[in-house]
Amino acid sequence: MTIKILVADDVKDFHDLISSVFHHQIEAGEFEFIFALDGQEALDKLQADPDIDVFLVDIFMPKIDGLSLLDMLQEPHFNTSPALTSVVISAYDDLKNIRKAMNAMAFDFLTKPVNIDDIRITITKAVAQSRRIKESIAKYNLAQETLRQANEELEMRIKERTAELDAFAQTAAHDLKAPLGNVIGYVDFLNEYFSDLAPEEMQLVLDKIKASGQKGIKIVDELLLLAGIDKTSVKIVPIDMGTLIGQVLYDLDLSIKQTEAQITIPDTWPTPLGYAPWLEVVWMNYITNALKYGGSPPILTLGYTPTPHKFIRFWIKDNGPGLSKEHQRVIFTEFTRLDESGVQGHGLGLATVRRIIEKLNGDVGVESTLGQGSTFYFTLPTR
């Protein structure tokens, strides 16, 4: 970067001397010298070019003297480079004015008659000072920009968290209201008709109360799992996917029989890296949703597909009504409810699936066409 140096002196020969001393730096494009023969010309050039880095100024000049110029540079409205470094030129016996110049924030001084070595050393020092100031300003600006970006990210995160907490509360209230309302309704029913109920009727009501309580507990567990995934550290290990899926299907055996579902799975499975308890939750959500929203009866196919970069895509395909493009975009979002579309219950469970898989360094998605079913998938790394 070229350093701009303004030399204000009413002696033309001094300008020529400066050009001669630094001709190599001028030819190399390192220094650019700008000359003024009086104070007014110097002031005009300072105001016209705020990028001047070094100001070499004689104290005694026509129109405006050097000390007055230095005083002007201190005024807040004066538009100069923050890295502007001033050097005054004065006589040996002019110590009083030199002191005034230093008080006006001059960096250094040259004495007349000038010495070539002194000129070279003094201007070189002034240039180095200007560069140091520029570097400090650049670091400060970078730190300020980094801080600004961090503040913006923090504000955005706070807004997201606030919205998430609000949605969390609404979801908890909405989803828990039904099972808790059922419990209260059945208890009121028992209080009213207890003495009139046959034992088998009593047992039926108690079973419904228990089922409602279990549903409420399941909702709470899902919310707690979703809230705690990001804060939990787990050990990533090779997973026996065949055994894991077998356990999930065993746990869902009653639902599979009740829906008369047909499920096809591979004879063997690859071994991804993951955390078994979380992956059970993933498959439980995917298979449960497929049983609920698949066809009648549900026809489900589980499988996997190797992908580049040592990842495996695991998937489940159903014969349900499919999802629109709009619903595909939001279905894995926290607390998204698609009830109005007749697709109930996906939001919370699939949001949990997404959080889990992302925590395990994979990703999730769905491929679907209306009327042709859906394929939900997730990827996991391998060794």
Q: H or E element: which one contains 378?
A: strand 374-381
Confidence of residue 180 (pLDDT cuts 50, 70, 90): confident
Yes or no: domain 148-228 corresponds to CATH 3.40.640.10: no
- For residue 345, what pLDDT is reported? 43
- In the block, tokens 């980094």 appear at 146
User: Which architecture, in CATH terms, is 237-381?
Assistant: 2-Layer Sandwich (3.30)
pLDDT tens digits, 27-37 = 888 888 999 99
d(CA 106, CA 212): 82
pLDDT at 248: 92
Kindly list the distances between the CA atom of residue 187 and the CA atoms of 104, 173, 177, 214, in Å, as whole numbers in the listed order. Answer: 88, 20, 15, 16
Is 43 in contact with 165 (CB distance < 8 Å)? Answer: no
Residue 36 per-residue DSSP state: E
β-pairing, 364-368 vs 311-317, is unpaired
Name the phi and psi angles at 252, rounded to 5.
-100, 15
Residue 237 falls in which region: left (phi positive, over 0), alpha (psi -120 to 50) or beta: beta
The C-alpha angle with vertex 83 and arms to 67 and 93, in degrees rounded to 5, equals 30
What's at 145, amino acid-wise? E
CA dist., res. 273 & res. 102, Å (int):
69
Domain boundaries, the chain: 3-114, 148-228, 237-381
- 237-253 mean pLDDT: 93
Return the number of other C-beta atoms located less than 10 Å from residue 375's C-beta: 19
Q: At what angle do helices 116-193 and 346-359 cross, to 10 degrees?
A: 140
Res 344 pLDDT > 60: no
State the pLDDT at residue 336.
Answer: 54
What stretch of H or E contains 90?
Answer: strand 85-91
Q: Which helix (H) or strand (E) holds 66?
A: helix 66-73
Measure the N-to-C terminal CA separation of the chain; round to a whole number of Å: 50
Residue 159 has pLDDT above 90, yes or no: no
Quick check: do 3-114 and 148-228 share a fold? no
Mean of the per-residue pLDDT values of the chain: 85
Work out the percent of the chain whose per-residue pLDDT is above 90: 29
What tokens does 375 get?
């394929």
Amino acid at 383: R
Q: Is the model's pLDDT at 281 over the cut of 80?
A: yes
Q: 113 preceded by cis ω (within 30°)?
A: yes
Residue pointed to by tokens 């002194």: 118
| pLDDT tens per residue across span 264-280 | 999 999 999 999 989 99
CB 120 within 8 A of CB 108: no
Fold of 3-114: Rossmann fold (3.40.50)
Residues facing residue 221 across a β-bridge: none
Give 139-169 as a DSSP string: HHHHHHHHHHHHHHHHHHHHHHHHHHHHHHH
CB 284, CB 248: distance < 8 Å: yes
pTM over 0.75: no
User: So what's the pLDDT on residue 297?
Assistant: 93
Q: State residue 328's pLDDT score.
A: 83
Q: What's residue 95's pLDDT?
A: 73
- 59 neighbors 88 (Cβ within 8 angstroms): yes
Cross-sheet strand order for the sheet of 108-112: 31-36, 3-8, 54-58, 85-91, 108-112
